[in-house]
Amino acid sequence: MQTRFTEDELAVQDAFRTFFANESPSTVVREAERAGGFSADLWNGLAAMGGPGMALPGSVGGGDATLCDLAVVADVYGAHLAPVPLVEHAVAARLLATIGGYDELVVELANGGSLATMALRPLVDGIARFVPAGAVADVVLGHVDDGIVLDRSMPPGDALPNTGGLPLAHRRLANNLISVDHVAWSHAVDEWRALTAAAYVGLGRRVIEMGVEYSRERIQFGVPIGTFQALQQGYADASTRMEGAHLLAHRAAWALETRQPDASRLAGIALLFAAEAARFATDRSMQYHGGYGFSEEYDVQLYHRRATAWILQLGDPSLEYARLADAEFGPVDGGKAA
């Protein structure tokens, strides 16, 4: 049992914290948003650090890091709202490496020369709608009845204008079946869930931190607003939920990495809880910023919009609850619960 980061994990955290703090300040996030939600400079910088391939096998030029390490990076990435699809890319590349037979492509993905993603929603008539990073990825993996398809094509560049300023796009995927391993697909989506949960923790903790900093500076009624207990109680609640989410997200990553029997369940749980906790945290922080929080100028709105958007890439959260319910209690079938 080790419920705090190990020395190695702390070293990873440190390196990426410095990188994102320097290379992904909110000016970069804002600029990228105007350009469709992606910063090529940031991606190249990340590639120079070995970020895109860190959790791929060394044999294909990867860094041999674990999913647990990746979750540490996802946390930092979330804290800075980094406008690069690190989570989608890492998960898709790992899936392709698992499927095997695409070493040359995986090498490209490891060094960041190519950008991969997963179409999280099932394909309809060859079209994947709302593909995360679909606007910028030249490698898209999708799930069809028969298995997993691989599409390599020029990304459209333009994103669908959306709440979170994310590089979302619809993509037509080539009918190029590369695997019939449905379990591998589910495992990859679970990795996405766990890593996105970790990113939500970074986001939620940071938005609380920003709010607490602001509460020291903003004076009303002659005192800093941070002395008002209403703010303290709200931030304490939000912070408690974020810490709970933190323990869940990394437990899920550990469970997936070590193939625990409840890994998939934990990944689903971690995402739902972390998303809701982070949305609560952004709501509190915006509220306690007062009117300025709502203004374009303050960063809290960037966090608020992304907290809303990230989980919706997977669909209505109710469907995620329903999915977990089916696994726990059996599906509702023909009017009868199994």
Partner 1 sequence: MDFSFPPEAEAFRQEVRDFLATNLTEDMIEATHDGTMHIPGLHRAMADRGWLAGPVPAALGGGGRSPLESVILNEEMQLARAPIDAMGVTVIVAAILLEHGNDHLTQHVVPRLLDGSSLACFGYSEPEFGSDVASAKTKAEQDGDGWLINGAKMWTTMAHIADYVLLLTRTDPDVPKHKGLTFFLVPLDTPGIEIQPVPTMAIERSNATFYDDVRLDDAWRVGDVHGGWSVMKTALKYERGIAGGQFPSPPVIDAALDWAQTHTRPDGTKPIEDPTVREKLVRALIDVEVCRGFAYHCADLANEGVMFGVEGSMTKLFASESYKRHCRDFHDMMGAEGLLTHESADAHLGGRIEENLRHSPVTTIYGGTSEINRNVVAEGHLGMPRAR
Which residue ranges make up the site for partner 1 (CB under 8 A)?
1-6, 9, 68, 208, 212, 215, 224, 226-229, 231-233, 235-237, 239-241, 243-245, 247-248, 250-251, 253-255, 258, 266, 269, 272-273, 318, 321-322, 324-325, 328-329, 332, 335-337
What is the helix (H) or strand (E) element at residue 147, kind and residue range? strand 147-152
Q: What's the min distance (Å) between Cβ of 287 and partner 1?
A: 16
Q: What's the min distance (Å) between Cβ of 47 and partner 1?
A: 27
Q: What's the min distance (Å) between Cβ of 12 and partner 1?
A: 12
Taking residue 319's Cβ as centre, other Cβ atoms within 10 Å add up to 10
Q: Which residues of 278-293 are buried (b: 16+ CB within 10 A; e: fewer)?
A: bbbbbbbbbebbeeeb
Q: Which is nearer to partner 1, 80 or 251 (CB)?
A: 251
Q: Which is nearer to partner 1, 89 or 251 (CB)?
A: 251
Q: Which is nearer to partner 1, 192 or 254 (CB)?
A: 254
Q: Which is nearer to partner 1, 143 or 205 (CB)?
A: 205
Q: What's the min distance (Å) between Cβ of 296 and partner 1?
A: 27
Q: What's the min distance (Å) between Cβ of 66 and partner 1?
A: 10
Residue 240 CB partners (closer than 8 Å, separation 6+): none
At 200, the amino acid letter reads Y
Q: Which is nearer to partner 1, 24 or 285 (CB)?
A: 285
Rg (CA), the chain: 20
Q: Which is nearer to partner 1, 34 or 259 (CB)?
A: 259
Residue 64 CB partners (closer than 8 Å, separation 6+): 55, 56, 57, 58
Q: What's the min distance (Å) between Cβ of 3 and partner 1?
A: 4
List residues bridging with 142 in a β-sheet. Answer: 149
Q: Within 13 Å and on the Cβ side, how many CA atoms surround 60?
A: 25
